C-alpha cells in the first residue's frame, strides 16, 4: 500500500469507528485480515447485530452514480466516504465478537477491501467466515 492508500484506510477506519460508537453499542473491534501476509481487508465490528440500516444505506450508495451530501444530511456520510475511498468495496456482514470470558456477542462488521500490490482490490464475498 502506498501512502495515499494508507491515508484512505485511516479515514475509513475513523469514520466507521465513529459510526459504531454513535449508532451501535459495545463491544467494538477493529479487524485486519491478511492473505499470504498482505493486508487484504479491514472491518470495524460492533455489538449491534442489526444490519438493516447499514445495508439500506450501502444499497442506496450502490444504486446512485453520484450522490450529494445533502441527501445523507443526518446519516450515511461515514459510509459514503468508506464506499468512495474503497472504490465501492465496502460491505456489512454479521459477526460474533468475543471478549475475555464471554460466550460471544452477536454483532455486525462493516468491512472494506484494501488495495493489493497491483492496486486492485479483492471482491466480496471473499470475506472470512465468522468465528
What does the pLDDT look like over 11-52, one tens digit per residue?
999 999 999 999 999 999 999 988 777 778 899 999 999 999
Strand, coil or helix: what is 34?
strand
Domain boundaries, the chain: 3-113
Confidence label for 129 from pLDDT (cuts 50, 70 and 90): very low
Indicate the DSSP class of residue 25. Answer: -
Average pLDDT, the chain: 82
SS3 for 61-124 is HHHCCCCCHHHHCCCCHHHHHHHHHCCCCEEEEEEEECCCCCCCEEEEEEEEECECCCCCECCC
Closest CA to 28 of 89, 82, 99: 99
Residues in the chain: 131
> What's the fold here for domain 3-113?
Heat Shock Protein 90 (3.30.565)
Amino acid at each position: 500500500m502506498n501512502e495515499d492508500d494508507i491515508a484512505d484506510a485511516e479515514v475509513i477506519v475513523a469514520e466507521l469507528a465513529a459510526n459504531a460508537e454513535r449508532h451501535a453499542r459495545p463491544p467494538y473491534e477493529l479487524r485486519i485480515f491478511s492473505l499470504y501476509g498482505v493486508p487484504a481487508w479491514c472491518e470495524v465490528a460492533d455489538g449491534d447485530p442489526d444490519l438493516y440500516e447499514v445495508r439500506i444505506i450501502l444499497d442506496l450508495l450502490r444504486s446512485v452514480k453520484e450522490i450529494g451530501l445533502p441527501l445523507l444530511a443526518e446519516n450515511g456520510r461515514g459510509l459514503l466516504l468508506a464506499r468512495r475511498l474503497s472504490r465501492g468495496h465496502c460491505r456489512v456482514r454479521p459477526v460474533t465478537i468475543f471478549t475475555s470470558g464471554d460466550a460471544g456477542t452477536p454483532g455486525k462488521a462493516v468491512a472494506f477491501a484494501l488495495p493489493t500490490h497491483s492496486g486492485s482490490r479483492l471482491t466480496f464475498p471473499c470475506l472470512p467466515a465468522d468465528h
